[in-house]
Every structure is written in C-alpha cells, then in structure tokens.
Amino acid sequence: MPSDRNMPQVQSWRVGPVRVLHLIGELDAVTVPDMAVKLDGALLAFEVPLLVATSLR
C-alpha cells in the first residue's frame, strides 16, 4: 500500500479559458483507480472549453 505522501492528488487552476490540472503522486496499478476518481471529479466540477493535464517529475 502506498504511503499518504505518494497518494495521487490533483491541483487545479485556471489560466484564462484554460483549466490546468496538475497530477501529483505515483501512478501505478494501485493508485490509478484513485487518480481516475479524482480526475473525474475535477473534470465534472469545471465547465471550461480547454483543459490541460500535466504530470511533472
């Protein structure tokens, strides 16, 4: 089981008409289902014409 600091998180902000979602945490077979739920929630929460998702290391 991953530690809490490695659990997926989604940060979100808006730049003009673009919604940016920044994915944080390790993505693997254990954490992907949780990340999918968080991404779905973030996508449903915002009605914007453009979306950028990032995951930087």
pTM above 0.75, yes or no: no
Please say whether the dihedral angle defined by the alpha carbons of residues 12, 14, 15 and 18, taken in this order, is positive or negative. Answer: positive
pLDDT of residue 50: 64
Identify the residue with better confidence: 51 or 23.
23
Q: Please, are residues 18 and 51 in contact by the beta-carbon 8 Å criterion?
A: yes
Sheet holding 18-24, edge to edge: 9-15, 18-24, 50-54
Q: Please, are residues 11 and 24 in contact by the beta-carbon 8 Å criterion?
A: yes
From the list 48, 50, 57, 43, the residue with the least C-alpha distance to 10 is 43
pLDDT at 44 over 70: yes
For the segment 23-41, what is each residue's pLDDT rounded down to a tens digit? 888 888 888 888 888 888 8
pLDDT of residue 10: 83
